[in-house]
Structure 1
Amino acid sequence: MKRLTSSDGKKFHLTNAGNFDQDVIDRLAQFENFHEALLSQQLELEKELEKLRADDKTRTVRFKQLLANKLTNQNILIQLKTFGIE
């Protein structure tokens, strides 16, 4: 990924303040969409897993795949939180 920012140790700055403003806004919007989609997907996965648990279908391939998806998403969210993104 091409960086659009640099750090001076205290703050982040645009690497080239010319036409990159819109690129930075677009990239931020894409990232925010990604983060919101992850959170939304987590809620849906939790609902579906709970339904499968209620139906005593915890040994099905579907349950295991959904659980793996939930754990993968959770790991991504933990990594983001490590960098101060919540």
Structure 2
Amino acid sequence: MKRLTTPSKNKSYTVEESAIQPALGGYTGEAIDKLAGFENFYEAIQSQQLEIEKELEKLRAQDKSRTVRFKQLLANKLSNNNILIQLKTYGIE
């Protein structure tokens, strides 16, 4: 992954001017697009977590907590949770 940010001494980050451009109502550019990708990824993981929780509850209500489908959903939930924890560790939440 091509890194666009450079750490500064005050625990902040900068990007080269070529990575962002002024646009109507804000900014655009490669750095903004990459940020949007991370935000979209985070929102997708959160959305998946909600859907997985609903499906797990549905399977529990049907007494299907020993099925392969239930176990796979549970594994997905744990994997997603681990991703969210890692993102939170780096201040992305």
TM-score w.r.t. length of structure 1? 0.93
CA distance in 1, matches of 2:77, 2:91: 21
Aligned identity (percent) is 67
Tell me, which stretches of 5 or more residues in structure 2 are unaligned?
Answer: 21-28
Instruction: Work out the number of aligned pairs and report it.
Output: 84
Per-residue deviation at 1:9? 2.7
CA distance in 2, matches of 1:68, 1:32: 23
TM-score w.r.t. length of structure 2? 0.87
Per-residue deviation at 1:8? 1.6
CA RMSD of aligned residues (A): 0.8
Q: Secondary structure at the match of 1:71?
A: helix
Q: Secondary structure at the match of 1:13?
A: strand
Q: Which has the higher strand share?
A: 2
Matched ranges for 1:16-55 at <5 A:
16-18=16-18, 20-21=19-20, 22-55=29-62
Q: Which has the higher helix share?
A: 1
Q: Does residue 85 of structure 1 match 2:92?
A: yes
Q: Secondary structure at the match of 2:14?
A: strand
Tell me, which stretches of 5 or more residues in structure 1 are unaligned?
Answer: none
Q: 2:9 aligns to what?
A: 9
